[in-house]
Amino acid sequence: MAAASEWKAAVSYDPLTGTGHILRGGDLVRFKKDYPVFSLGSGRPLRSAAVRDSGGRLQMPLDTERAIARWFAERDAERASRFSVAAIIIDPGHGGKDSGAIGEFGSGKDRLRVLEKDVSLAIGKDLYARLQAAWPDKRILITRSGDTYPSLDARVDMANDVQLGLNEAIIYVSVHANASFNKSASGFEVWYLNPEYRRTVVDDKKAEGVDKSVLPILNAMLEEEYTTESVFLAKSILGGLKAKIGDASVDRGLRAEEWFVVRNAKMPSVLVEVGFVTNEAEARKLSDPGHLRKLGDGIYNGIIDFVEYFEHRKGL
Ligand SMILES: [Zn+2]
């Protein structure tokens, strides 16, 4: 692996799992010992002779070294044209027949009824308008703009149907409100995909010419990439919310789960829970347009931070 130092790349290898990566700038090559397929960048497969582990010394066949060097050269050329987040999908949770969580309190003039679908729509539409104004060049999409119920499949399909160029990425932000039997639970949190969860992210088109048996391993590699981006996106949004909301609500932090909407989106994706409709004090805030604007503002700032980070670092 003298090649790595020639490339000024860092090699990391875990002898326990036999997996490792070569990182050069933002360009990542993942490999598995004795496995003749490499994952380049966001999961482009490279079929070439495998890396061998001969008593703790990693050896890469010359042909493979050349192929990887060629890819690094390609990446350098691509870098001339800047990476960008070309599309952002905002997904207001629930809608129509599906109210989502419901909070009901008080009586008479103090009576309050808050539906999650209304909270998510108000924030989603606000976000959508702001993002469109900020980035007329990007494709900003919203899964619903009224009190309708697109199925979860339809939402994810909408995201996955967006055509992207070589250096373009798409991000997916789902907005929800929370509920708990514990009436004192309150606060906002941001979820990202649980790295433990296996999903199919390499589609057949992308994997043309690749042995079907290698798809699971490519998927696992690529999935890690999406997760990394999702964690950054989730952290940025949480930071944006914290800055805007301050003490008005509790920061419950980052969470990882297997949400359907997040799981099936082949892109960095997060789910924001903006507060609990089952907590009376918070439900009152969630029915206050001023508070909803602040939440939208916080998520918006988080997205801006992420996009800036992403577009100056590397593409998908
Ligand atoms: Zn929900």
Query: For residue 113, what are its two tokens?
Result: 């009824």
Q: pLDDT tens digits for 266-292?
A: 678 888 999 999 999 999 999 999 999
Spacing, Cα 128 to ligand 1 middle (Å) = 18
224 three-class SS: helix
Among 72, 83, 84, smallest CA distance to 25 is for: 72
Query: For residue 24, what are its two tokens?
Result: 């050069």
Spacing, Cα 288 to ligand 1 middle (Å) = 19
Spacing, Cα 178 to ligand 1 middle (Å) = 6
Spacing, Cα 101 to ligand 1 middle (Å) = 7
Q: Which amino acid is at 231?
A: V
Q: Lowest mean pLDDT: which of 135-139, 223-227, 295-299?
A: 223-227
Distance CA(20)–CA(114), nearest Å, equals 49
Q: Which of the four pLDDT bands, split at 50, 70 and 90, describes residue 315?
A: very low
Spacing, Cα 174 to ligand 1 middle (Å) = 9
Q: Which residue has the tokens 């790349």?
A: 9
Q: Which amino acid is at 48?
A: S
What's the whole-model pTM score? 0.67
What percentage of the chain has pLDDT greater than the value 70? Answer: 82
Distance CA(155)–CA(144), nearest Å, equals 9
Rounded to the nearest integer, the mean pLDDT of the chain is 85
Distance CA(148)–CA(99), nearest Å, equals 10
Query: Between residues 214 and 57, which one has the greater pLDDT?
Result: 57
pLDDT of residue 75: 83
Spacing, Cα 234 to ligand 1 middle (Å) = 17
Tell whether the model's pLDDT for residue 255 goes beyond 70.
yes
Any bridge partners for residue 207, and if so which? Answer: none
Query: Between residues 315 and 260, which one has the greater pLDDT?
Result: 260
Distance CA(290)–CA(272), nearest Å, equals 18
In order of start, what are the domains of the chain with their CATH numbers?
A: 2-79 (3.30.457.10), 84-313 (3.40.630.40)
Spacing, Cα 216 to ligand 1 middle (Å) = 30
Spacing, Cα 163 to ligand 1 middle (Å) = 28
Spacing, Cα 179 to ligand 1 middle (Å) = 9
Q: pLDDT tens digits for 159-214?
A: 878 888 767 888 889 999 999 999 999 999 998 865 544 445 555 555 555 556 65
